[in-house]
Amino acid sequence: MKGHLKPLLLTLEIERHKVNKILVDGGAPIHILQKNMLKRFGKTLDELKPHNILISDYAGKSLQPEGMNLLDVQIGSVKRTTMFIVTPSKANFNVLLGREWIHGVGEVPSTVH
């Protein structure tokens, strides 16, 4: 893949754990955490809060997430509690951060114009 077409992937601290393969998507309205990442933060499925959100994956298939959870995300000196929707899907990223988080920490993502 050409360098200018690669996705923006970050490594950040979530719940004081370094996490790689964090996808930044300025078009995403929600933040997604892969279900297999819960154990890394010492969380279980029982701790997830229920919700009525139905999401679509990149293939357009509807998906019922496992639940939601609040986690602390840190970038540099900025720490922000973030609501994540926990999904059972296997994607090429561990975490997806959407537009609300990007703007909330005062960052401006680079985009192709």
Class of domain 9-104: mainly beta
Measured in degrees and rounded to the nearest 5, phi and psi for residue 85 equal -90, 125
The H or E element containing residue 86 is strand 78-87
**Distance, CA of 42 to CA of 51 (rounded, Å):** 21
What does pTM read for this prediction? 0.82
Measured in degrees and rounded to the nearest 5, phi and psi for residue 40 equal -60, -30
Q: Where are the domains of the chain?
A: 9-104
pLDDT digits (tens, 9 = 90+) for 2-56: 666 667 788 899 999 999 999 988 788 899 999 999 999 999 999 999 988 888 8
Distances (CA, A) of 29 to 40, 92, 103: 25, 19, 12
**Other CB atoms within 10 A of residue 87 CB:** 20
